Amino acid sequence: MKKIKQYCVLFLVLVSVVSFTGCSNSFSIDGMWESSNGTMITFQNGSASASLFGFNGGPDGSYELSEKTDSSGNYLLYGSHLTGGTVEYSVKVESNDKIILTLLSDSDYASKSLTLERK
């Protein structure tokens, strides 16, 4: 009977850990990233470099990364730029240092797909 109680307690602890782990956003996009074509994109404290929107230089835009993934396991990245309107990307996390952005919104300037590696 004592063993059964120990197993029940262990089971409840494991369920609690798994539940709390699933509720947190462990991926952070903040940092400097380089695309496969050599373009550098920086995400820092809600500010995204103009290159995310398809511009070389100029003022930064803003971004927001969804806290949870969609049904495909991807995050959503919303970006806004003074001269470039808005963009929405699906963010597939290959690893903490490699992501793939796929453009979901219409844009004449932003890249349709970007493979980024953290620098």
Residues 80-102 pLDDT 10s? 999 878 999 999 999 999 999 99
SS3 50: helix
pLDDT at residue number 7: 42
Q: Is residue 44 part of a domain?
A: yes
pLDDT at residue number 26: 76
Q: Is residue 67 part of a domain?
A: yes
**Is the separation of the CB atoms in 56 and 66 below 8 Å?**
no
pLDDT beyond 90 at 112:
yes
**What single DSSP character describes residue 24?**
S
**Is the separation of the CB atoms in 74 and 91 below 8 Å?**
yes
pLDDT at residue number 52: 95
Q: Is residue 21 part of a domain?
A: no
Q: Is residue 91 part of a domain?
A: yes
- Number of domains present in the structure of the chain: 1
pLDDT at residue number 19: 40
Q: Is residue 8 part of a domain?
A: no
Supply the range of the domain harboring residue 76. 27-118
CA distance linking residue 41 with residue 77, whole number of Å: 14
Using 50, 70 and 90 to split pLDDT, how confident is the model at 57?
Answer: confident
